[in-house]
Amino acid sequence: MANETMWQKIKNIKNKEQILFWLGLIIMVAATAIETLRGRASNYYVYSDATSMFWHGLTPYTQQFITDHGRYFLYTPVFTTLYAPILLLPKWLGPFAWNGMLYALMVTAIRTLPGEVNKYRTKIFGFLLLLIVQGTFCFQYNLVVCALFLLAFTLLERNKPLWAVLLIMISATTKIYGGIELALLLCYPKMWRNLGAAVLMGVGLLLLPALNPMFEHPLDLYRQMGEMLTQHGDSGTWAGLLFAPVLRDVLLPNMRAIQLGVLAVLAAIFFWKYRLWSNYRFRVTALAVMMGYVILFSDSPETHTYLIALAGYQMVFWLQPKHSTIDWVIFWLLFVNFCIFPVDALCPVAVYKFFHNNFWFDIYCMTLAWVRMVWAVVKA
């Protein structure tokens, strides 16, 4: 009885959203301080060093950069242009500004979710909080990509398509796969104007690196980046469906055919259901399917990138009028596999590696959840 009373007290706490926000903020600041003081803000240093090199007329898309930093620089010259004001800050300050931006964008994206899904924003934030903390602990740019997906959708729903297009194109020109959200423009008025604006904004963003006077041919960096990305995709086993045990021997040799084939099927379903383009729930599900596709079928996804797929999944899950036992099983399996297992403080590293390296429960569970979302569109 006492336990039940305590549980009721927890359920009745007001301002759960604020409690979660402050909890996440405190952990983010503490994690940033710890990693910065220990000199382990590795991802941030990669961003910062690459940006500094770019503005000094040097290319980060080289084997020497990989050797010096132990990793590839996977971002476009637009990235090193747009985020230079943060990435060129002193090394003791920059990581705090960077993680502050990541956290602020994610909180804003979730708190401003449009329409009916906004009612579930606290539940969505609660589910994603450990993933957000993981991302800030590692200074991951994927939080920005996720936030841009959600913020652009919110702006589209609130009849501010040009601002939405700008966010989509920033995502597309810094991390490439964010551009898939342009497909949603078909569901809104003035489609051709918005697509034309996307082209103009995209060209403008891609030309931004030309402002750097230190390069004679700054746009040649795109060619260098493309060559390096090809090497990166072939450099290991990644946390994507194409690399999953049992399936990889069949899927991986046919990577491009699989990616294009699945995209073609999704496009066919999208156009087949054109009568539902005006339906809010259809648009939410279509967005979630896109967010899942770009991660599950990516060339080189990491566990942290699944924040993007899970954010979309969470919106669809809470909009469902009913949840079956299977839905709840998938929900909790995803929470355990992505939110608990990867956190060292909550789960021993050996346990996480055992389940991920041997069984890939996380990837298979996410794939199952994604397939159920696709099926929801098909049967709608």
Predicted confidence (pLDDT) at residue 13 exceeds the cutoff of 60: no
Global pTM?
Answer: 0.93
Contact of 145 with 180, CB cutoff 8 Å: no
Dist CA 256 CA 260 (whole Å) = 6
Predicted confidence (pLDDT) at residue 10 exceeds the cutoff of 60: no
Predicted confidence (pLDDT) at residue 154 exceeds the cutoff of 50: yes
Nearest residue to 378 (alpha-carbon basis) of 298, 297, 265: 265
Per-residue confidence (pLDDT) for residue 2, from 0 to 100:
46
Q: How far is CA 66 from CA 194, 212, 228, 257, in A?
A: 39, 23, 10, 29
What are 126-146's pLDDT values in tens digits? 999 999 999 999 999 999 999
**Cα end-to-end distance, the chain, whole Å:** 44
Per-residue confidence (pLDDT) for residue 219, from 0 to 100:
86
| Banded model confidence at residue 346, pLDDT cuts 50, 70, 90 | confident
Per-residue confidence (pLDDT) for residue 255, from 0 to 100:
93
Dist CA 126 CA 120 (whole Å) = 10
What are 179-229's pLDDT values in tens digits? 999 999 999 999 999 999 999 999 999 999 999 998 888 889 999 998 887
Per-residue confidence (pLDDT) for residue 234, from 0 to 100:
61
The SS3 of residue 93 is coil
Q: What is the mean pLDDT of the chain?
A: 92
Predicted confidence (pLDDT) at residue 232 exceeds the cutoff of 70: no
Residue 121 φ/ψ region, left for φ over 0, alpha for ψ in the -120 to 50 degree band, beta for the rest? alpha
Per-residue confidence (pLDDT) for residue 353, from 0 to 100:
87
What are 89-140's pLDDT values in tens digits? 999 999 999 999 999 999 999 999 999 999 999 999 999 999 999 999 999 9
Q: How many CB atoms are located within 10 Å of the residue 359 CB?
A: 13
Q: Which helix (H) or strand (E) holds 170?
A: helix 161-175
| Banded model confidence at residue 344, pLDDT cuts 50, 70, 90 | confident
Per-residue confidence (pLDDT) for residue 9, from 0 to 100:
52
* 297: amino acid identity, one letter: F
Q: How far is CA 149 from CA 110, 168, 170, 217, 311, in A?
A: 11, 7, 11, 32, 10
Dist CA 36 CA 48 (whole Å) = 13
| Banded model confidence at residue 375, pLDDT cuts 50, 70, 90 | very high
Per-residue confidence (pLDDT) for residue 1, from 0 to 100:
44
* 143: amino acid identity, one letter: L
